Amino acid sequence: MTEKKTRYKYGDIIIRERKGRYYVYKLETINGKVKERYIGPLDDVVETYEKFRSGG
């Protein structure tokens, strides 16, 4: 059975769905080559953003 891959792109940020979970990647250009750097699970990224935004 084929796994459906979902990808959302916002500028240099990519959000991918794998097995019902979402993961965040950042596009970076290194020596002329575009690479994806893994940031973390989307829920952790959102939690960290909310903490920084609220000043905590």
Give the closest residue to 38 by CA, choosing from 10, 3, 11, 14.
14
Q: Give the Cα separation of 12 and 6 in Å (integer).
A: 16
Which structural domain range is residue 35 located in? 6-54
Give the mean pLDDT of 24-31: 94
Give the mean pLDDT of 25-40: 95
The pTM assigned to this predicted structure is: 0.78
Q: Is 29 domain-assigned?
A: yes
Count of structural domains, the chain? 1
Whole-number mean pLDDT of the chain? 90
Q: Is 46 domain-assigned?
A: yes
Q: Is 1 domain-assigned?
A: no
Reply yes or no on whether the pLDDT at 5 is more than 80.
Answer: no
Q: Is 28 domain-assigned?
A: yes
